[in-house]
Structure 1
Amino acid sequence: MGFKRKKDSQDLGSEFDDDEKVKKMKKTVEKEKKEILPSMIKNKEKRSEVHAKLKIQKKLEKRKKIKARDAAEKRALELGEEPLPREIPRTIENTREHDETVCKAFDEELTAWNDADEFSSIYKCERTPKILFTTSRFNSTRGPAFISELCDVFPNSHYYKRGTYDLKKIVEYAKNKDFTSLIVVHTNRREPDALLIIGLPDGPTAHFKLSKLVLRKDIKNHGNPTKHDPELILNNFTTRLGLRVGRLIGSLLPQNPDLLGRRVVTFHNQRDFIFFRHHRYIYESKETKEATGSKKKEAKMIARLQECGPRFTMKLISLQHGTFDTKSGEYEWVHKPDMDTSRRRFFL
């Protein structure tokens, strides 16, 4: 004879929890049925229409959030309170992998290293930069056109045709003629695709991949550069390797810029891609809108940038000790495919 056990409070509670779980599961299934993703629609026209609607909806929600944030900041300022700090967006740059070679400010070892490197005489204004430009043996018309524009960027630079001369002989010739740098523009399929920058007389030698080249004539509303010595801007060269590459690039230009020329040369490093830009800044007087209560227009002085060109992007392939030597040269750093396993790992 069996006896039925009475249900205690714990059993009732567990049954109640199971019912709630079932209800939640049903609700999520219903929601999933209602929410139809664009990728689930087979018709192309309908799919693009739904995608456009979702995109507009996201934009409107983003605008509402921005308006609400601005209103809260304005209200806090009126009340004399400090507004809430804005959230810093997560980017690849600010979530980069930790690197021990990142340079710290006011590092005595680093300053001593800079004072004793190959470029110290140029940075101390003991030597004036003098650059020799040449091309690869089989070059196209676009290579010399690119070099002629680079000669307008870098003062005291000279272009010599390569001919059949070996590069080591050209290095020796440049040393005897007191050149401080040798730049070789390599072309492939009638398009410049690499730069070899050799510091003279003791190196180092940097090999860069060249991409996205735009000459001056192809830049809309471009300006024509003057002969004044330009200002130099080097951005985001933070590691030991980046600092060495930045000092090599900086040694191509005089360290006493002529500010009257209003020329600016920028090398901006972002995710190990070095973006080159050449600008001149212009001061213009612009009439502002009518002031309240008066019909007169006020003139305001503004500054704007005008690009002079050329425009291109570089990526470091290798850095070698001394001058160019492919057989017995010692490399400081070489880029390998194994290094590209993480998107958040940068070397410059």
Structure 2
Amino acid sequence: MVTVEGAIENGECVNAPAQILKDTHASPAERLWALAAEDMAAVDALILDRMQSPVGLIPNLAQHLVGAGGKRLRPLLTVATSLMCGYQGDAHHKLAAAVEFIHSATLLHDDVVDESELRRGKKPANLIWGNSASILVGDFLFARAFNLMVETGSMEALGILSNASSVIAEGEVQQLAALRDVKMDETAYMQVISAKTAALFAAATEVSPVIANRPAAERSALRDYGLKLGLAFQLVDDALDYGGFESALGKSVGDDFREGKMTLPVIRAVEAADEKDAAFWHRVIVEREQTEVDFETAISLLRKTGALDSTMDLARQYAREAREALSVFDASPWRETLEDLADYVVERIN
């Protein structure tokens, strides 16, 4: 099967789109990329250009992360929804690149906070160049994102993405404050992931009808689509951390557990815990006294309580709501593929 990553790495961008669209086994993400291939090539060129700096460390470190692969899902959403809205121009390229820079900047900062050992299948930048360099290059990418937003001349788009940047930062701080807090409830957790993950998905899709001058109903629909897609995406990541595959997750399995993060599966397992299991969760999450077998024990408890299954059920519910949000748009290959993408985000490990 032709993959997005393989096509890009092998320099097959010109011929790959037709191959992918003919491939009945291609994923919705791959089909969406194929439909938007020319525009995504322009976005990639813009990203590469705006990563450059006379300060050599900046492009080297940025390239390590931004060029490490990834599906460019968020900028792809900006491009695809802009084209679905009938936008003509090049502002969507700049906004898509800005979205990728915002996302990459948050990842650089996250790796410093989380002390993760794997990012997009590679050693994270902070373990190579150090925490200070990662934080500062993350700041550089944020600045580049705002440069690109201003260049579009759309104050509304600038407002949407700048607000999302603030919300993301608030979500990260809220998550940090709740680290190892075994009393964190589901409402608080959904607020965290709505901010730190779903906000950028929502902004990435909401800017499209804005620059295309589409009706308010379409703007609301695409914001809802992005928000629900982002929530589904994060909930699946929560579940994947307890028994998924590193290739699907993009980071080491078990990182959330080792860091003492309260994710939805753990919150639901704690709520269902008896006295013995509650003591286990307090030891491994609050006190962070973890042995080699504790991760497997945690997985067993998540399965026993149905916490993993119920988390995936909620992710599927959000995916359905994302699909439904697109009903205001006329039928088209764009709408169909974006609808399928919502299901794919949930079922991507199968």
Higher relative contact order (CA 8 A, sep 6+): 2
Q: Which has the larger radius of gyration?
A: 1
The structure richer in helix per residue is: 2
